Amino acid sequence: MSFDVQTLRAQFPILSTQVNGKPLIYLDNAATTQKPQVMIDALVGFYTQCNANVHRGAHALSDEATRRFENARNSVLTFMNATRREEVIWTKGTTEALNLVANGLSKKLEKNDEIVVTEMEHHANLVTWQQACEASGALLKVARISDSGELDMEHFESLLSERTRFVAFPHASNALGTLNPITAMTAMVKSRGDALVLVDGAQGIAHCEVDVQAIGCDFYAFSGHKLFGPTGIGVLWGRYDVLETWPVWQTGGEMISTVDYQHATWGELPYRLEAGTPNIAGAIGLGAAVEWFTKQDFAALRQHESEVLKYAMELGSEFPGMTLVGTAREKVGVMSFLVDGTHPGDLGFILDQQGVAIRTGDHCAQPLMKRLGVGGTARVSLSIYNTVEDIDALFVALKKAQQMLT
């Protein structure tokens, strides 16, 4: 089956719109992806056909809303190759998933326990663990990366000890695109003790096949909006025997079993970690996005995306005055760069005037920018629907920006 990118693009209504009078060239997919019509239809379908609260039974609409909501959980379960539906916890997104884990961790850690992260973390996968350390007296260790943005596996290994209780790292770096060998890293941690492993999957989930059993990690977190789904919904997958021991986080409705005026007892997983009325439409939308994504020819998508990335990186390395930031051998579709004599923010502005949407700045990774000796970068991030024509348009726009700015 040959992959036809135009057929794919036609399923995303926004891709045929104009911005600033120019056809939209959307290259900011690491910030959020665009949405296929089937996902939008699922949101509208919920609100027009069965809007009601879930798990409150008692009437037909509520039953249907609950059915769609729990079906979405099952879709995610299958998508990640998880084994039990209790392991799939709805959150607002990656950030909330990490906070949920950090909250429990801060109660479990003791003074001088150690947490290991990497130099390429998004703030969400760093500040959360800093807070857990502050609350518990644990220590945060940071594994080094090379100048090209690859993890130093030897240094990572050297940080693991009997004091290591928790290890967190990104599946892929949002700022550089580096794809980490997460299965090998997890195995390395597990061979040395019983530390828990969390994968920040915010960037991995839309670019890699994720099989949580094969990875062997304890937690995998991602956001719906970076996977063709809505904002305000995400997933914390956790191993059942770990989640079972995890302290409750937020309290309120949905998560309790019995309550009297002085005490409460907690409900079962997954609801125990999902206090309050959930983002029902969001979960249903994400379920539809996942179902849609699952039907695509994944190998063809990866092949296409890596060809577009290769094309972009080649043009980038030939572009006068351009420095590529992040040149790891294994990458998802991210190209971070600087252009001599220009500020990334100015580049982004002039590109936008030409309909080309990229991201500029520190990419929520200030320590990483410091480590690489840059204040920030311009970042092109690809999704499955980007084309080599998008990259040609990018470089035409960049040439113009360069002429205007230097």
Ligand X SMILES: *Cc1c(COP(=O)(O)O)cnc(C)c1O
One residue of 114, 150, 200, 305 binding ligand X per CB under 6 A: 200
One residue of 99, 128, 164, 223 binding ligand X per CB under 6 A: 223
Stretch that binds ligand X, among 92-100, 141-149, 249-257, 280-288 (CB under 6 A): 92-100
Q: Which is nearer to ligand X, 239 or 379 (CB)?
A: 379
Nearby residues of 254 by Cβ (< 8 Å), 6 or more positions away: 55, 267, 271, 274, 275, 276, 277, 278
One residue of 125, 186, 336, 381 binding ligand X per CB under 6 A: 125
User: CA 367, 179, 319: angle at the middle one, nearest 5?
Assistant: 80
To ligand X, the closest distance from the beta carbon of 230 in angstroms equals 11
Q: Which is nearer to ligand X, 230 or 344 (CB)?
A: 230
Q: Are 357 and 27 in contact (CB under 8 A)?
A: yes
Residue 174 touches ligand X, criterion: CB under 6 A = yes
To ligand X, the closest distance from the beta carbon of 6 in angstroms equals 28
Residue 95 touches ligand X, criterion: CB under 6 A = yes
One residue of 43, 124, 351, 358 binding ligand X per CB under 6 A: 124
One residue of 33, 39, 76, 93 binding ligand X per CB under 6 A: 93
To ligand X, the closest distance from the beta carbon of 124 in angstroms equals 4
Using CA atoms, how far apart are residues 160 and 93, in angstroms rounded to an integer? 29
3-class SS of residue 236: strand
Distance, CA of 339 to chain centre: 27
Using CA atoms, how far apart are residues 96 and 125, in angstroms rounded to an integer? 11
Residue 364 appears among annotated catalytic residues? yes
One residue of 66, 75, 203, 402 binding ligand X per CB under 6 A: 203
The enclosing H or E element of 338 equals: strand 334-339
Residue 282 touches ligand X, criterion: CB under 6 A = no
Q: Are 406 and 374 in contact (CB under 8 A)?
A: no
Residue 279 touches ligand X, criterion: CB under 6 A = no
Residue 103 touches ligand X, criterion: CB under 6 A = no
Tokens standing for residue 156: 């990572």
Using CA atoms, how far apart are residues 127 and 114, in angstroms rounded to an integer? 15
Q: Which is nearer to ligand X, 68 or 363 (CB)?
A: 363
Torsion angle defined by CA atoms of residues 387, 392, 396 and 397, in that order, rounded to the nearest 10 degrees: 20
Q: Which residues bind ligand X (CB under 6 A)?
A: 30, 93-95, 122, 124-125, 170, 174, 200, 202-203, 223
Q: Which residues are catalytic?
A: 364
